[in-house]
Structure formats: structure tokens, C-alpha cells
Structure 1
Amino acid sequence: MPLHPDADHTILTGTDGTPLARLRLRDDDGTPLADDVRPLPGAPLPLIAAQARRDLAGRRLQTPDDQLALAVVHTGLKLRRAATDMRHDLADLPAMPQLPDGWTLAPAGWDDDLAEGLAAAYRPPHPDGGWTDNDTREVRGMFERGEPVPPLAEASARVVGPDGRSAGHVLCAGPAPWTDDLCAWILNIGVAPHAQGRGLGRALLVHALHGARAAGLPRLGLEVVDGNPARRLYDAAGFHVRTRVLSIDLP
């Protein structure tokens, strides 16, 4: 057998039984994952890449190892996403910034103004790609049915302009069931283009930090894709790098 259970991980082996890499097999909302794939000492990366293509076919491979990801890409596949997993330990929080006149934070929720604003904010060339109808369905499902996870109310909020319309939000969940540590998680944070440049994104982020701590969770996590200018905001707020997340779909 090329895949062998080992405590809370799975070992990928070569055809001769040589251990090659450690990973976790799981599903993410219907997507089968080979998650946190890490080469074992001395295992040749080209051999791991070839074995992964055979034995993990149909899964999304996720690894923190840049060189392994490059080896898999060299088999003829494309890197789907390159991102950084970050955490804040909530021990030393920045003070809540003052909002511009007429702007307020409101309880989290979903409405047409917010959908329109996020669709505009995530237009190309945004590194996360465009906001899709499926994104809207997923967020509405969280608020309407608590699926796939309910929002963490204390850490989520909308920002509302002087006209009373939603112009952005931060949406958090927690504890996050897809991580191996206890933390709240920022699923989405965004501000409509017409409202950007007023410090609203920072206000939403700081609200999420204070809300996660108020909810009794020890950390707040997020994932930021390479090239996203919001990375500067996260660094300034005190988030630290936990690991890289490089994703490749295996046919």
C-alpha cells in the first residue's frame, strides 16, 4: 500500500515501501485534500512528486515546502495558489481606531450592498481573483443556516457609510475546524473601492482581533495570498507567519 496511517498523519511511500512524505488526508467542503505534505529527510523531491501524482490523484495537494511544490509543478502541473498562513496571539492588541465621521461598525450580516461592494473590491487584478456567485451563496449559507460554519458574531462586523449602506465587512468563524490549533479565523475581509483609503479595513481587522479575544479564543488566524497588498496591514497589526500554503490540483 502506498499510503500508510501513522498516528494523526498518513505516510506516502514509494513502490518499494520507502517512506517519502508525511501528510494529512481530509476534505474541505467537498474538496479532497492531501494537506500539509512534508518531505521526510533524505527523500528525493522528484520521486515524491511522481508518487504523489499516482497515489494522491484527484486531490488538492497542499504543502509548506516551496521546493516540493516546484517539483510537482515540474511534472507538468500548475501552481493553483501560493499563500501564507498567519496567526495573532491576541496578547497585545492595537487600540480600536476612530472611524471617519458618519461611518459606523454594525453587526455582521449580508445584503445586496455588501455583495456589490465585495464584487467590485475583488475584481481583477486582485490576487485572490473575482468574487463569484458561489462566494455569495457560501456567505449567505453561513448567516442563514450556519453552514458550513456559523459566523463568529463577536469578531465579525459590517462597516456602514453615512448613506446607511454596507461598504465592507470582516467575516470570522471559530473555533476553526480546519486547523490543528485552537483559533478564530478570518474568512473574508474587504472594503468596497469607493470606501477605501479611509482606514476602514484596519478598523475591521482590529475589531476582529478584539472580538476573537472576547469570544475566549487564544489566537486569530488568516491566510493571505502572495501579492495581496493587505499583507502590509496584517504585518502592522502584529500577525506572524505560521507557514506557507502552496496548492496544486492533482489530476
Structure 2
Amino acid sequence: MYGHRDYVAAMPVRPHPEDPAGSLLHADDGTPLARMRLHDDDGQRVAADVRPLPGVALTTVAAQARHDLAGLRLETPHDGLAEALVAGGLELRRAATDMRHDLTELPAPPALPTGWTLAAPGWDDDLAQACDAAYGPDHPDGRWAADDTRQIRAMFDTDDPVPPLRTASARVVGPDGRSAGHVLCAGPVPWTEDVCGWILNIAVAPHAQGNGLGRALLVHALHGTRKAGLPTLGLSVVDRNPARRLYDDTGFRTHRRVLSVLLPGSPEHTGTD
């Protein structure tokens, strides 16, 4: 049970009066401090797009968030707020850029090397090995994990948490008939404020890199998203990921920065009722 006195009297998180999908974080005296969106991401409660209101001290927002959003992952485009949380002893878990492509002008699909083809999306052991090799110990996003494989299998097997956007997804298959990479898209996705397709994963095994296969997969995703009738395609690229150059070259543009911090403690009441 949540403490009655704390949350009936203070109600730190309330609906945003002008944004049906948004919420406001308040100080204990009722002063609004920051706007945000609350949602779930594969079982993790997230306070997304946290933006301090003008004139509010960042240290005040950071302290209130630590108290009233404990246990949540906080995502903010605001460097100063992230710095205030880190200065308070927390760890910056991820620094990334959300990008969008408006799908109005698309590059032509590039020719694939002899023997290479794009095949229907799916998941197999060869693809699992390719992703494991692509996400090595020095990759900015970290090593490929068994949970990554579990999540992708769940998408294809049970549409959990979202089904693949099949027109925009594909595997790349080598002359030996084995999967060597893929692009996996979903859409429209529930975790963005705009209607868009989303690249969940794009990877090419190291032995197949240098053949333009990553670009071919990316261009396929662009054309497939437009074919599905979605207005934009989005992705998130972590800082220092060399793939950023490919995204820039194919017409993706910066949408916003996303700095992620896990707030310690047990989840507090963040309902807006």
C-alpha cells in the first residue's frame, strides 16, 4: 500500500493540464517543477522526456525526482538535469540521440554483392550468432545478451511487447544461405509522442561488414516504413557509435537527446489520478 498522507496531501505527480499524455512533477508544496511522460518499457517504469520548467533550480528537480520517482528510469534531453543527478551520486546509464527520417526523399536501394540477398524477417541461430559477434565487448551499446535474443524471439512468436513491422524488417543472407545480419523494425510504437516506425535493431556480423549490407538494410527499412503508411522512421543511436555516420548520410536528422539515469529505491506512487 502507498502512504495515504504523502500522496493525497502532496500528489507530486499530476496530469498535465494541457497535454493529455503528459504529467507534471510537483514539489511538496504543490509548485510545478518539471513536465514528463510516464510509460512502461518491457516491465521498467519510465519517466520520459523530463524537462524542468523555466526558472526552477535543477537541484530541486533532481531531489524531488529521486524522492517521488524512485525506482524509475529517468530520461531527459536536459544536460543540466542529468549533470545534477550525476553530481548527486547517480550514474549516467546511457547518452544517446533520437533521430527521425521524414521519408519524403528516400535513397535508392543499393545493389547487393554477388550472392547476397535480403530475405524475409525472422530469427534463427545464425542470426543470433551474427548479433552476438556484432555487439562485441567494445561496442558502445554493450555486449549482446541472452535477454536481447529472448525479446526478439518474443516479438516473432507472440508479438510481445510489439509485433515486427514486417514490410520494414529483413535479414541479409550470404552465399552460404546463412543469416549474417538483419534490421528489425516495429511501428507505430507506444513509447514515442509522435506516430512513427522504429528501428529496434540493425546489425551485420563482422565477417560480412564492408560490403554495404548495413546501408542496404537501412534503406530497406526506410522504404518499408513508407510502404506501411507511417509518416516517419525513428531510431536511437548511442554516443560514440560509428553507425551515426550512416544514419546522417541516409537522411536521418536529430530529434532530441536522451540522457538516461536509473533512480534508486523502491518505486513510489506515480499515478496521476
Q: When the two structures are aligned, how many residues end up with a matched partner?
A: 251
Instruction: Identify the range of structure 1 (18-27 vs 205-214) with the bigger mean alpha-carbon deviation.
Output: 18-27
Q: Distance in 1 between the 2:252 and 2:58 partners?
A: 31
The answer (yes or no) to whether the contact 2:39–2:191 under 8 Å persists in 1 is no
Aligned Cα root-mean-square deviation (Å) = 0.8
Does residue 6 (structure 1) correspond to residue 29 (structure 2)? The answer is no
Residue 91 (structure 1) aligned with residue 104 (structure 2): yes
Residue aligning to 2:214: 201
Q: Which residue of 1 aligns with 2:5?
A: none
The alignment partner of 1:223 has SS state of strand
> Which residue type is aligned with residue 13 of structure 2?
L
- 2:270 matched residue in structure 1: none
Ranges in structure 1 where 5+ consecutive residues have no aligned partner: none
Which letter maps to 1:145?
Answer: T
Other structure's SS at 2:39 match: strand
- Equivalent position SS for 2:50: strand
Of 82, 92, 99, the match for 1:79: 92
Where 1:234 maps in the other structure, the secondary structure is: helix
Rounded to whole Å, the distance in 2 between the matches of 1:4 and 1:140 is 37
The Cα of 1:20 is off from its aligned counterpart by 1.0
Give the equivalent residue in structure 1 for 2:198.
185
Matches for 1:48-197 after TM superposition, within 5 Å: 48-197=61-210
Percent identity between the two aligned chains:
69
Shift of the alpha carbon at 1:6?
Answer: 1.7
One-letter amino acid of the structure 1 residue matched with residue 195 of structure 2: L
TM-score, length-normalised on structure 1?
0.98
Q: Give the Cα separation in 1 of the matches to 2:37 and 2:104.
A: 30
Aligned residue in 1 for 2:237: 224
Write out per-residue CA displacement over residues 163-219 of structure 1, whole angstroms, 9 at most, x where no aligned residue.
000000000001111111111110000000000010000000000000000111110
Paired with 1:11 and 1:168, the residues of 2 have a C-alpha distance of 42
TM-score where L is the length of structure 2: 0.91
Give the corresponding residue for 2:48: 35
